[in-house]
Amino acid sequence: MTYLIEPEKDTQAEMNACVKGVVSPCCSTYCPLVDCCGLFWC
Could you say whether residue 11 binds other proteins (CB under 8 A)?
A: no
CB 41, min distance to other proteins, A: 4
Q: How far apart are CA 4 and CA 23, in angstroms?
A: 28
CB 36, min distance to other proteins, A: 7
Residue 10: strand, helix, or coil: coil
Could you say whether residue 6 binds other proteins (CB under 8 A)?
A: yes
Sign of CA dihedral 29, 33, 37, 18: negative
What is the binding site for other proteins (CB under 8 A)?
A: 1-9, 15-16, 18-42
